Structure 1
Amino acid sequence: MCCNASYAENIIHLVSAEYPPYFGAGLPHGGAVTNIVVQAFRHSDYQVKVQFLPWARALSEVRAGNVDGIIALPNSNSREDESSLAFSTPINTLQIGFYKQRDRGIEFKELTELKSFKIGSVRGISNPLEITAANLNTLESLDDITNLRKLAIGRLDLVLTDKMVGKFLLENRLSDMRIALNWQGNVVANRDQHLALSRKRAGFEKKLQAFNDGLKQMALDGSLKELINQAGLEMPQNHIN
């Protein structure tokens, strides 16, 4: 019984969502970021189990303390997140901006110039502070695929997402729209992604420290950079020392 209890304590139960190529149920190793999380925990002999859910439900599960944590989130610095979640060292960096219809020449210097545009965002994902401050007309959908489909038929003017996520979806899951849609060009925000653990779970501090230590070891031995480069990801802005 003691051995079974010890084994159970070394299992980390995480949720995640569909955000390819970073993480997703149908990706090799569950996606590049999922693989990094698993490898980092392995340094401390933790076994990771991941369940993939829609964004809003995944966030609800971790905030309620029903699971240990979520792969992966930008730190929104919101009161709700700060009180319920503990954020790890950054894993990688997202480039957040817009996709548009290729034949529409949409350019801007200030985000406030986009107030008349219908902009698709994903339910459950906090928008960058820059978007919130500009008070833009954002319309939520279940996921990025839904938003890109709406963009293609003119129900949206822009889709707010990460550059690599949009590129992956257009090349692999929406190839019929690849010619019609493209990246607008402006990077609205660079956002570091973190493992976020629930503060409601016993021992979250120990688990967070184990992850951070493992990630640091991967940075030192070069395996983190190797995995990030293999996947074509961006290294975090705040490099791990």
Structure 2
Amino acid sequence: MLCGSGHTKQLTIAIGDYPPFASKALPKQGIVPRVIRAAFASEGYTVKFEFMPWGRSFASALKGKYDAAAFWFCVPERKKNFHCSEPLYYEATYFYFRKSKPLTDWGNLSELSEFNIGATKGYSYTEEFWEFAKRGVLNVNTVTSDVQNFKKLLKGRIDLFPIATIPAKHILKEHFAAEEVEQVAFHAKPLMVESSHLLFLKQSKKSEVLLKAFNRGLSAIKESGEYQTILNSLGTFKTSSAKYIFVK
């Protein structure tokens, strides 16, 4: 029997909506839950995902209410309390803008002080981004969803909005008319390229066991080809380049 216990082990993981990667409205809840389930299944675990706002999902995992939190950048602040899994995928984030007020070029974030920038509550972006926002170097306005930020961008209430291209395309297709989509573009220079991870609370005695099990399972589904099959359900990606959202 699985794990030698006579029963498959059940895990509960906190997660937020981030379509097309994860959402309770998507088939099988999206590709990230599918990858996580497949990796754990190879180690004899089943997984239940509980969707909630990103900030609450992190806070709940920090209080030990869940076996893990999905899916987060492994920044130094989070490493204080959590073990980070091997990367689920890599994600490049770009600044979107209205073509009527384009971002023609930028080298440092401080050069963007003239723009009103939208951000989504609970997202990491970069330490420098939030530090500049705190100091007033950047004018950053925060709302609770990416859809809200695109609405604000189109209405001219913000000038820039950082988001990865695949979720951006999904949101624009699902929530906006073609003539609205035509009004926006993004700058080719990424704000950041970061990997996303499962987080396991260090205070939990079972976290190291689960971390090792997940990493083994993730390696196994990559070797078997199941990982790439799941990713390709969104389309075909060049996974050898950091220019694309998935990197081996």
Alpha-carbon distance in structure 1 between the residues aligned to 2:175 and 2:247:
32
Secondary structure, counterpart of 1:231 in structure 2: coil
Q: Corresponding residue for 1:95?
A: 92
Q: CA deviation at 1:68?
A: 1.2
Q: TM-score, normalised by structure 2?
A: 0.86
Alpha-carbon RMSD: 2.3
Does the alignment pair 1:227 with 2:226?
no
Could you tell me whether the CA contact under 8 Å between 2:14 and 2:68 is conserved in 1?
yes
Alpha-carbon distance in structure 1 between the residues aligned to 2:206 and 2:193:
31
Q: Corresponding residue for 1:109?
A: 106
Question: 2:10 is matched by which residue type in structure 1?
Answer: I
Alpha-carbon distance in structure 2 between the residues aligned to 1:106 and 1:193:
27
Q: CA deviation at 1:116?
A: 1.6
Q: Compare 112-121 and 48-57 and name the one that shifted more.
A: 112-121
What do the CA deviations read for 1:123-142 (whole angstroms, capped 9, x no partner)?
A: 11122235346552222110
Match among 126, 129, 145 for residue 128 of structure 1: 126
Alpha-carbon distance in structure 1 between the residues aligned to 2:122 and 2:130:
14
Could you tell me whether the CA contact under 8 Å between 1:218 and 1:224 is conserved in 2?
yes
Secondary structure, counterpart of 1:152 in structure 2: helix
What do the CA deviations read for 1:177-204 (whole angstroms, capped 9, x no partner)?
A: 3222222332121111111122233301
Q: Corresponding residue for 1:204?
A: 207
Gaps of 5+ in 1: none
Alpha-carbon distance in structure 2 between the residues aligned to 1:154 and 1:130:
25
Secondary structure, counterpart of 2:233 in structure 1: helix
Alpha-carbon distance in structure 2 between the residues aligned to 1:175 and 1:69:
37
Q: Corresponding residue for 2:83?
A: 86
Alpha-carbon distance in structure 2 between the residues aligned to 1:144 and 1:154:
15
Indicate how the Cα distance of structure 1 residues 239 and 216 shifts in structure 2: closer, same or farther if over 3 A, else same: farther
Could you tell me whether the CA contact under 8 Å between 2:82 and 2:201 is conserved in 1?
yes
Question: 1:40 is matched by which residue type in structure 2?
Answer: A
Query: 1:1-150 residue pairs with structure 2 within 5 A?
Result: 7=7, 10-78=9-77, 81-110=78-107, 111-132=109-130, 135-150=137-152
Secondary structure, counterpart of 1:71 in structure 2: strand
Indicate how the Cα distance of structure 1 residues 74 and 210 shifts in structure 2: closer, same or farther if over 3 A, else same: same
Q: CA deviation at 1:104?
A: 2.2
Indicate how the Cα distance of structure 1 residues 234 and 190 shifts in structure 2: closer, same or farther if over 3 A, else same: farther
Could you tell me whether the CA contact under 8 Å between 2:89 and 2:247 is conserved in 1?
no
Question: 1:85 is matched by which residue type in structure 2?
Answer: F
Match among 153, 157, 164 for residue 162 of structure 1: 164
How many residue pairs get aligned? The number is: 233
